[in-house]
Every structure is written in C-alpha cells, then in structure tokens.
C-alpha cells in the first residue's frame, strides 16, 4: 500500500521503471541481477513505490524501507474525518427494548423483520411517523442491526405484518408481564381522509374532526405503567358496545385476576352483568346527572362531611355504602371535594345570572325554552309578556350537591381511599392516547389501505411501549425533575460517532447531561461502541 502524502528521494541506482495505465510509473528495486538458463540478462525485483512526476521523487510503500532504511521518515497523517452520524438515540432505545424484554419478544414473533420494526419505532420516536423522510434519517443515523429503508420499504413491512403475528406478540407480551394489576381501559378515535380503510366510519369524533374515523381501544397496566393490548374497531360503534368484546379478548389472553378501571361512558347494566359473570372486578364513575347518582348524593350528602370520612391524601371526604343497581349488589363510594364545591357554586351562580339576562332579553318573546325554566319560575301574562323569579328551592338543592361525585365498584374489600387512588390513576391512559396521537403523530392516519394501516398502528403501539417506559422512568427519578422526554431524546441524538478515512470509528465525548440520562436508565456508555 502506497504511503500517500509521503515523498522520499528517488534512488539513483538499482531501480527500474514500469509504466502503467493513466500515465502512472511504478518503480522497482533490483534485488539481484543474473542471467537465466538461456544466458539472457534478467533480475529479481520488488515494487518500492510510484514516481511523483511533479517532484521527481518517490511515493514509497512499506517495502521501500527494507532496502533504504536510512530514508525512513515519520509520515504526515492523512487520516481525516469522513462521516459523522448520531448513534445515541437508536442505541439507547435498543437497550431499553432489551431491558423490558420487548426485544426478545419481537425477535421471537417476527424472526425475519424484528429489526425493521424496531428501526421504524426508533424513527417514529425521534422524528415522527411521516415515512417519506426515513431514508434521510438513515443517512445521518448509525444503525448496526438492520439495513437502510425508504418509505416504500416501510409500506411493504406494514403490509407484511399479519394478524396472526400481532396476536402472537400480544400473547407473549402479556405472558411476560404476568402482573396482577389494575387495568385501565379506554377508547379514542383516529381520523383519516382515506376511502380504502375498512374500519373507517362516521361516529363520535373526540377531536371534533369532520372526518370518518376508526376507534382505538387500549388496555393499560396501572402498576407496570405500560400499554398492554389494543384493538381497532369500526368508527361508528359506540364505546360501551365494544367493552364486552374487549373483556372476551382479555379472557382469551389470560388477562385475569385484574380490576378494570373504566370511564362512565361504558356504564351499562349489560356491561356490569357481563364483567361480574366473567369474574372481572371493575371501578367506574357514575354520571353526575344520572338519577341514581343524584339519589345517592341526596341520601348521603349530610353524612359525608364528617371528620372520620376525611381523606387527607386527596383533601376530600369519602364514604362507602352498599347499593343495589339493576339487580346487582355493588358498592358506591360517595365523595365531597370542598374546593370543587366552592368552584362549582361560583360557576353555577354565574350560570343562573346568565339565565336571568337571557330571560330579560326574551321578555317579549312568544316561546321560553325548557333550559331557561330549569331554575326559574316563569309566569306568562300574555302571549307577548312574561315575568320570572328564581326558584330558590331548586337552586339550594343543586348547591348542596356541588363538589360531590360517586365511584362505583364490585370490589368489597377496597376502602374509599383506595378506590379514589386507583381511579385517579386512570388519567395515565389519556396521557398515553395523547402520546400516541400527538407525539407519535397518529391523530390522523397517513396510510390509505387497511393492511398498511393495521401494520403501521402495530409498529406505533410498540413504539408507545418504549416511549411510555422512558417517560415513567424519568418521572420516577429525582435527578430528572427538570428534564422532559423530548429533551432526553434531543440530548441522546447529540451523541455521535465520527468515521475516519482509515475506517476507524470514534465516539465523541459524552456530556454531563448525557451521562446523567444514562445513569437514570442504568445504561452503560459501552452500548455506543458495542456492535449489535
């Protein structure tokens, strides 16, 4: 190999020149001159370099110094940086997937495409889910465990993920976790402009998009703090109608001995009966305007505000009472939040005043709506004249209910404090939906076919597991109080390697903040230099 950048004197004797293509001239050292068996002069030679025509000097190779050791010089380094790539975020997320056993499960369920699934997950977590830019991401990101992909390759991957493979993944993921924990269940809607996705239908859209949608129901572990399972169903089906199907799937996946925490939108006698018959426990909130809720609050509102019922952890009063609803023996936990009562009272008085203003403006109207009659006594003197007065009894009755709310369960052993603690944790599933729809950009589907959509949503769900784990770890670590997940990902992306012209790869120094992040997740720096 020639030592480019090094020039030495051209030997004055014992050399021969050999022309080569492109005008190059190679120089050979004569080791021995002799005559062959036919008597013709010949020689034994060794290549020692190439002639530099401009300087009439020699660009040597290593053998030159075997014959002219006195001319050995220290070569000027010509090793230069060739390529800088980020390695931090992808290597870190790979390690997180390994830590939570997600990597092994993916490798078992998708032996021929786990690497592509993970790579797209990391892209979604770092850049969003617009696949047309993924090849640019591969240009600037070092990934050792898979090959470069473009948007067409991503679409083919999504289409290749079968329902059987997804089912196998859910079974192994649930089996690995094996936790007896409270499970939150909720549904959100995802909109699309496409006309070729089977589950897209018009229905109740939570984002107020004037578009067809599909519904995305999810189980979330409230102890593990991780997504457990999801199911996509038609956008026109009401949430409460799908709960029964999700309970059947829960049994099928051995999600048992759990307590399902659900929103009040799922409350039907049929759902309660089904959960009890299948030995599911549940916790839910009773709708505030439900007749049964109002009756319970009216019956116990005088007994709730007692010092023995004070729950200091949440600054509320709470009592537990057995109830019979639709023939089912359940337990109602009735709470009074003094701060909420004060706010609701102020809001209600303002509402009543606004009603009075509307009535004054409508004094000459021929029709008074039912809404305006709710808290006012209306006297119609003639077709064009009315008078009104505040219904004090109704107002006072409403005010006495301010700040009250009721949680319902079939778990007899839990106290009012425990029930409230469990139910308030269910907001994490709303935060997971927010992550999925906004941070991972699934608020609007960017796919146009059913198979592609199903595959992409699955990959997004896998990414959600990783993102949720990272977020929970940050929140539970005291040293990370001032660092958001977005900041963590940005800092990790700054960890880079530089590829040199001699094919050596160098890891750039890691900052104090980056080291703090690694320590929080029990991740060692060597992951950035180890090959996958």
CB atoms < 10 A from the CB of 374, how many? 14
Binned at pLDDT 50, 70 and 90, residue 256 comes out as: low
Averaged pLDDT for residues 186-200:
81
Q: With 70 as the cut, is the pLDDT of residue 73 above it? A: no
331-335 average pLDDT score? 95
At 446, list the tokens.
Answer: 């960017």
Tell me the mean pLDDT in the region 143-172. Answer: 93
- 20-34, 232-246, 279-293, 462-476: range with lowest mean pLDDT: 232-246
Of 178 and 266, the one with more pLDDT: 266
**What mean pLDDT is reported for the chain?**
86
Q: Express each pLDDT in 456-498 by its tens digit.
A: 999 999 999 999 999 989 988 888 878 888 999 999 999 998 8
Cβ atoms 177, 228 nearer than 8 A: yes
Residues 515-529: tens digit of each pLDDT: 999 999 999 988 888
pLDDT of residue 181: 72
Give residue 425's pLDDT band: very low, low, confident or very high (50, 70, 90): confident
Q: How confident is the model at residue 367 (pLDDT cuts 50, 70, 90)?
A: low
Q: Which two tokens stand for residue 387?
A: 């008078």
* CA neighbor of 149 nearest in space, from 138, 162, 160: 138
Q: pLDDT value at position 381?
A: 66
The model's pTM is 0.74
- What pLDDT, on the 0 to 100 scale, is given for residue 491? 93
Question: Looking at the predicted structure, is the pLDDT value of residue 13 above 80?
Answer: yes
Is residue 215 within 8 A of residue 234, CB to CB? The reply is yes
CB burial of 265-289 (b: ≥16 within 10 Å; e: otherwise) equals bbbeeebbeebeeeebbbbbbbeee
Dihedral over Cα of 446, 451, 455, 461: its sign = positive
Q: Which of 143, 420, 146, 112 is nearest to 261 (CA)?
A: 420
Q: What is the pLDDT of residue 44?
A: 87
**Torsion region of 101: left, alpha or beta (phi above 0 gives left; psi -120 to 50 gives alpha):** left
Q: Residue 380 pLDDT more than 60?
A: yes
Helix axes 338-361, 392-401, angle to 10 degrees: 150
- DSSP states along 92-154: HHHHHHHHTTHHHHHHHH-TTTHHHHHHHHHHHHHH-S-GGGHHHHHHHB--SSS----HHHH
Distance CA 215, CA 231 (A): 8
* Cα(44)–Cα(36) distance, integer angstroms: 11
Better-scored residue on pLDDT, 226 or 6: 226
Determine the straight-line distance between the first and last CA of the chain, rounded to whole angstroms: 32
Question: Could you give the CA distance from residue 151 to residue 45 in angstroms, rounded to a whole number?
Answer: 56
Q: pLDDT band at residue 250, thresholds of 50, 70 and 90? A: confident
Closest-CA residue to 227 (of 169, 163, 168): 169
> Are the C-beta atoms of residues 138 and 122 closer than 8 Å to each other?
no
Residue 238 clears pLDDT 90, i.e. is over it: no
Q: Which residues pair with 507 in a beta bridge?
A: 497
Q: Encoding tokens for residue 55?
A: 């300087």
């Amino acid at each position: 190999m020639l030592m480019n950048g090094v020039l030495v004197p051209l030997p004055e004797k014992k050399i021969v020149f050999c022309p080569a293509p492109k005008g190059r001239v190679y120089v050979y050292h004569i080791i021995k001159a002799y005559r062959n068996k036919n008597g013709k002069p010949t020689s034994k030679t060794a290549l020692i370099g190439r002639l530099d025509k401009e300087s009439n000097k020699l660009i040597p190779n290593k053998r030159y110094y075997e014959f002219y050791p006195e001319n050995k010089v220290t070569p000027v380094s010509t090793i230069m940086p060739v390529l800088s790539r980020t390695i931090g975020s992808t290597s870190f997320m790979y390690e997180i997937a390994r830590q939570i056993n997600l990597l092994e499960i993916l490798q078992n369920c998708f032996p021929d495409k786990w690497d592509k699934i993970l790579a797209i997950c990391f892209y979604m977590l770092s850049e969003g889910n617009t696949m047309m830019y993924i090849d640019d991401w591969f240009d600037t990101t070092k990934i050792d465990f898979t090959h470069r992909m473009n948007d067409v390759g991503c679409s083919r991957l999504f289409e290749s993920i079968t329902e059987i493979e997804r089912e196998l993944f859910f079974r192994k993921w649930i089996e690995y976790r094996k936790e007896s924990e409270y499970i939150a269940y909720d549904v959100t809607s995802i909109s699309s402009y496409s006309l070729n996705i089977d589950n897209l239908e018009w229905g109740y859209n939570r984002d107020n998009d004037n578009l067809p949608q599909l519904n995305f129901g999810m189980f979330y572990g409230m102890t593990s703090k991780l997504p457990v399972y999801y199911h996509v169903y038609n956008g026109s089906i009401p949430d409460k109608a799908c709960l029964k199907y999700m309970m059947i799937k829960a049994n099928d996946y051995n999600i048992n001995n759990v307590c399902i925490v659900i929103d009040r939108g799922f409350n039907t006698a049929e759902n309660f009966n089904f959960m009890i018959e299948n030995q599911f426990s549940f916790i839910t909130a009773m709708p505030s305007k439900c007749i049964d809720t109002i009756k319970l609050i009216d019956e116990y509102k005088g007994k709730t505000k007692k010092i023995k019922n004070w729950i200091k952890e949440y600054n509320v009063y709470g009592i537990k009472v057995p109830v019979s609803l639709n023939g089912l023996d359940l337990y109602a936990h009735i709470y009074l939040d003094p701060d909420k009562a004060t706010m609701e009272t102020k809001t209600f008085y303002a509402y009543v005043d606004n009603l009075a203003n509307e009535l004054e403006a409508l004094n000459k109207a021929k029709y008074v709506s039912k809404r305006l009659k709710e808290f006012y006594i209306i006297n119609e003197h003639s077709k064009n004249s009315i008078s009104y007065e505040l219904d004090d009894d109704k107002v006072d009755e409403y005010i006495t209910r301010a700040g009250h709310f009721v949680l319902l369960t079939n778990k007899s052993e839990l106290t009012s404090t425990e029930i409230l603690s469990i139910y308030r944790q269910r907001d994490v599933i709303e935060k997971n939906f927010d992550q999925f729809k906004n941070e991972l950009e699934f608020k609007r589907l960017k796919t146009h076919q059913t198979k592609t959509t199903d595959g992409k949503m699955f990959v997004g769900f896998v990414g959600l597991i990783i993102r949720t784990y990272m977020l929970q770890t940050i929140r539970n670590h005291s040293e990370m109080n001032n660092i958001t997940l977005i900041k963590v990902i940005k800092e990790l992306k700054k960890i880079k390697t530089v590829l040199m012209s001699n094919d050596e790869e160098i890891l750039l120094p890691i900052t104090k903040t980056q080291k703090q992040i690694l320590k929080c997740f029990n991740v060692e720096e060597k992951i950035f230099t180890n090959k996958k």
